Amino acid sequence: MSINSINHYILSDSCRSNSILHYDLNKINKLYNDWCKYLPKVKPYYAVKCNSDIELLKTLRDLDINFDCASAAEIKACLDLDINYERIIYANPYKFKHDIVYACNNGVKTMTFDSIYELEKIKELPFTQYSNLIMRIYANDTSAQCNLSDKYGAEIHEWESLLERAHDLDMNVIGISFHIGSGAKNPDIYKEALKQCRKLYEMAILYGFDLSLIDIGGGFTVNNFKLMASTINDALDMYFPDEMGCKVIAEPGRYFAESIATFYTKIIGKRTRQNGRIDYIAADSLYGLFNCKLYDHSIIQPPEIILNINNISRKLHNPKIQHQTRIMGCTCDSNEILFDEIYLPEMEPDDWIKINNFGAYTISAASCFNGINFKDIKCIYDY
């Protein structure tokens, strides 16, 4: 479906939605081809938490991309799509006991930890005796869009006690993981993290562990990917050359999901303030897909305007005249400003705004605040 067809559809009489996500799944082929070209030694495990749309997961499945899950529900979503359990990693360092049992009972036995408590919790549960454990270590790009290491990752002074406890519990530690932050910006942090992984690898040998897997986490975007890949390849050659026989994986989410989705949402209210600013109310919210402004720290480019073509008697206001504009969400939270201090041509209710690159950490965290189910929106797919 072409962009013109999408625009026509959302503004046609057949469309009864107030918000629409358009997924161009064809783009995933190029993204995956670029991944294989620039990071040929690294197997991607898509981070399901980024966007769990079923058609997106199917497309990734059919490209032989694997999956990083953070809960039993995400594991079940993959298994329900006939994704083999061997293609799933349970990469959450802190897990519910019942989720661990569910995962192991369904064959998903590769999982992460970064604390002694998590080791002991896994050990005491049924079906976990053959678990393959990955020790997550601290790594942090302070310039990343979302920092993760304030919460996750064992620091260097904790490594020996973790290895010792894993040895005493007769646990099967097979690898090391790290995540430098979602939407990372500094490629040198990957190099430093892989250097630390090599230190831990050598230390693990002393405790009888033969590590065979390195998980370099996520942090990739379409814009930073080639730069990151170049540094990662050099660091892998330096610290984990091919002759060591270690499998290397990653957990990209944003890289595959962000650029494939375009969001359309309707203007449902309007007023003009005394200072000349025009305020609009959109059909979405900070409690909907725009939650990414809060939780993902997203910086969103000003939207494009699509005229409501159903009202054939109205023409677009003079597009050359830009008005000071504020766009707010549709709930009763007075603080939910989606766009502020931007300049746009004047709109009318039932016009639409269009936001590009809206597939990552948007619909995945939408809620039902005020009784509005922001997840229940129309999805359109190009295959």
Tens digit of each residue's pLDDT (9 = 90 or more) over 101-111: 999 999 999 99
pLDDT of residue 148: 61
pTM to 2 decimal places: 0.94
In this structure, are 340 and 201 located in the same domain?
Answer: no
* Domain end residue (candidates: 252, 274, 289): 252
| Known active-site residue 50 | no
* Domain end residue (candidates: 252, 283, 306): 252
In a domain, 93, yes or no: yes
Backbone dihedral angles phi then psi of residue 199, each to the nearest 5 degrees: -60, -45
Is the pLDDT at 312 greater than 60? The verdict is no
- Name the one residue in this structure whose structure tokens are 């969001």: 263
Is the pLDDT at 320 greater than 90? The verdict is no
Do 249 and 44 touch, CB atoms closer than 8 A?
Answer: yes
Is the pLDDT at 313 greater than 60? The verdict is no
What is the residue-averaged pLDDT of the chain? 92
In this structure, are 118 and 205 located in the same domain?
Answer: yes
In a domain, 207, yes or no: yes
In this structure, are 246 and 268 located in the same domain?
Answer: no
- Taking CA 213 as the corner, what is the angle to CA 209 and CA 216, rounded to the nearest 5 degrees? 130
Q: Which amino acid is at 55?
A: E
Q: Which of 36, 50, 78, 332 is catalytic?
A: 332
Give the model's confidence band at 1: pLDDT under 50 very low, under 70 low, under 90 confident, else very high. Answer: low
- DSSP code, position 45: E
Give the model's confidence band at 340: pLDDT under 50 very low, under 70 low, under 90 confident, else very high. Answer: very high
Q: Which amino acid is at 326?
A: R
In this structure, are 284 and 305 located in the same domain?
Answer: yes
User: Looking only at Cα atoms, what is the longest distance across the chain?
Assistant: 79
Per-residue H/E/C for 99-135: HHHHHHHCCCCEEEECCHHHHHHHHHCCCCCCCEEEE
Q: Which amino acid is at 318?
A: N
* Domain end residue (candidates: 229, 252, 275): 252
pLDDT of residue 208: 97
pLDDT of residue 317: 78
Q: For the residues 7-20, what does the mean pLDDT come to?
A: 70
Domain that holds residue 63: 52-252
In a domain, 211, yes or no: yes
Instruction: Work out whether strand 337-344 and strand 88-90 pair parallel, antiparallel, or are unpaired.
Output: unpaired
Is the pLDDT at 201 greater than 60? The verdict is yes
Q: Is the four-CA dihedral 259, 261, 264, 265 of positive or negative sign?
A: negative
Buried b (16+ CB within 10 A) or exposed e, 26-65: ebbeebbeebeebbeebbbbbbbbbbbbeebbebbbebeb
Q: What percentage of the chain reaches a pLDDT higher than 90?
A: 82
Here the tokens at position 343 are: 């300049």
Give the model's confidence band at 9: pLDDT under 50 very low, under 70 low, under 90 confident, else very high. Answer: low
